[in-house]
Amino acid sequence: MYGAIVIEPHQPRFKADREHVVLLSDWSDSDPERIYANLKKRSDYYNFGKNTLGDFARDARQRGLGATLDERRMWNQMRMDATDLADVSGYAYTYLMNGATPVSNWTGLFSRGEMLRLRFINGSAMTFFDVRIPGLKLGVVAIDGQDVEPIGVDEFRLGPAEVCDVLVAPSDDRAYTIFAQAMDRSGYARGTLAPRAGMSAEIPPLDPRPRLTMRDMMGEMKMDMPMQHSTHGMDHGAMPMKGSEGSCGASMHMPPPLQTGPGVDMTVATPRTNLDDPGIGLRDNGRRVLSYADMKTLDAPISIDTQREITLHLSGHMQRYVWSFDGLKHSQSEPIRLHHGERVRFTLVNDTMMTHPIHLHGMWSELETPQGDFLSRKHTVVVQPAQQLSYRVNADALGRWAFHCHLLYHMEAGMFREVVVA
């Protein structure tokens, strides 16, 4: 079950003639427990190169030969080329726009000359969407429900739970495609803006499948080199990249690195701190793509003069499909305790090669620039591979709160902490 909740401000800053909610999601007919079991099982595929005949015979007996072959093919394909970017891809998911498949083509109507407000919501379990409407400039006016300085872009990335409102002004009496491709380019959600029902526009091809680069694995580097996929199958250990040429903000403190161990297969010695990187697959694509550096909340911050620093490493072990904060799964961890009214700076260091949308319930996360200035008020903060960023939290809500990666299976696998405000 899902839906959209729209809270209208008392005094709207941005006026529109008409608005549409555009809710993106990922649908699978597979039981999520089965998908999770497959993710957990993938370590065997890495360790032994391929499945044992016994595994195969058991699956075929239980689930039928055809389904087993299909699934093997699916996971083999994912292991070959998709796993570094998305744990669950278009091989398992159909991407939906307002519940409609790409073929069903959800359509939002407009009259020529109208200003439209589109409220994009990523309600998916596991999918980052890269959204654009060829032929229209997107005027971003709100992020996570908070007004921002308007900025015109061609494209933006939306992580699970993130929300982005854009204004568009279609001037021609024609259809426009709303194109939302999955970050790993394994599929897309699609809908249409049109003056009349039943119209459609050209659907652009999927972009090339992006490849992780040195920057994604080791932090700030000057060169970009494609990673070999075989790196996933070995124990990375700590990356000996100290002293690489970085451009980290001078005031950003460097927290001590995490140790590798049973739950942590890699760490990043020199995380990068810049926020102007739109992310894997969106760099230098010829379009103006929104980045976190562009998002400037118009209202004043509510958390100033922080009194305490909390640093957390986003960690994981790919082979075991374990995800965690500071190498500890939820079941192994103690709650993070905040005093009521306390103002805390959270610094997150992503020691993995995956992009994590981190969501704190109950309180805002106010993202800072690398220099420590207020940037944007968010409820979900996406941390890119090998990136370090900070946000401030005003602990103004008593109670027990969830703090977790918003990728469903990362949360399930342990990237979850309880935050207690007392």
Closer by beta carbon to Cu ion, 215 or else 356? 356
CB 352 within 8 A of CB 289: no
In the complex, least distance from residue 161 CB atom to Cu ion, rounded to whole angstroms = 12
Measured CA to CA, the distance from residue 383 to residue 359 in angstroms comes to: 11
How many residues touch Cu ion under the rule CB under 5 A: the total is 4
In whole angstroms, what is the distance from residue 210 CA to residue 89 CA?
Answer: 14
Nearer to Cu ion, 232 or 410 (CB): 410
Using CB under 5 A as the binding rule, whether residue 407 contacts Cu ion is answered as: yes
CB of 174 to Cu ion, least distance (A): 40
Least separation in angstroms between residue 303's CB and Cu ion is 24
Is 312 a residue that touches Cu ion (CB under 5 A)? no
Nearer to Cu ion, 306 or 380 (CB): 380
* Cα 357 to Cα 292: distance, rounded to the nearest angstrom: 13
Rounded to a whole number of angstroms, the minimum distance from the CB of residue 148 to Cu ion is 25
Cα–Cα distances in Å, from 97 out to 110, 160, 205, 270, 309?
17, 14, 18, 38, 40
Candidates 4-12, 103-111, 227-235, 408-416; binding stretch for Cu ion (CB under 5 A): 408-416
| Angle (CA) 313 318 322, round 5° | 65
Q: Which residues of 162-194 are buried (b: 16+ CB within 10 A; e: fewer)?
A: bbbbbbbebeeeebbbbbbbbbbbbbbbbbbbb
Using the minimum distance from each CB to Cu ion, give the nearer residue, 25 or 177: 25
- Tell me the per-residue interface mask from 338 to 367 with Cu ion, x by CB under 5 A, - otherwise: ------------------x-----------
Tell me the DSSP string of 57-109.
Answer: HHHHHHH-HHHHHHHHHHHHHIIIIITTT-SS-TTT-EEEETTB-TTT-EEEE
Q: Closest separation between CB of residue 354 and Cu ion, Å?
A: 6
Min dist. Cβ of residue 160 to Cu ion (A)? 9
Give me the least distance between CB of 412 and Cu ion, in Å please: 10
Side chain identity, residue 166: V
Q: Per-residue DSSP letters for 309-370?
A: EEEEEEEEETTTTEEEETTB-GGG-PPEEE-TT-EEEEEEEE-SSS-EEEEESSS-EEEE-T
CB contact at 8 A, 408 and 25 = no
What is d(CA 109, CA 19) in angstroms, rounded to the nearest whole number?
9
Tell me: does residue 410 bind Cu ion (CB under 5 A).
yes
Which part of the chain contacts Cu ion (CB under 5 A), choosing from 8-16, 29-37, 101-109, 407-415? 407-415
Q: Which stretch binds Cu ion (CB under 5 A): 21-29, 219-227, 391-399, 403-411?
A: 403-411
Question: Which residue number, 144 or 412, has a Cβ lying nearer to Cu ion?
Answer: 412
- Interface stretch with Cu ion, choices 126-134, 191-199, 248-256, 399-407 (CB under 5 A): 399-407
- With CB under 5 A as the contact rule, the residue among 194, 405, 408, 419 that binds Cu ion is 405
Q: Closest approach of Cβ 242 to Cu ion, in Å?
A: 26
Cβ closest to Cu ion, residue 140 vs residue 318:
318
Place of tokens 């460097």: 254
Per DSSP, 261 falls in state B
Q: Which stretch binds Cu ion (CB under 5 A): 132-140, 167-175, 328-336, 404-412?
A: 404-412
Contact positions vs Cu ion (CB under 5 A): 356, 405, 407, 410
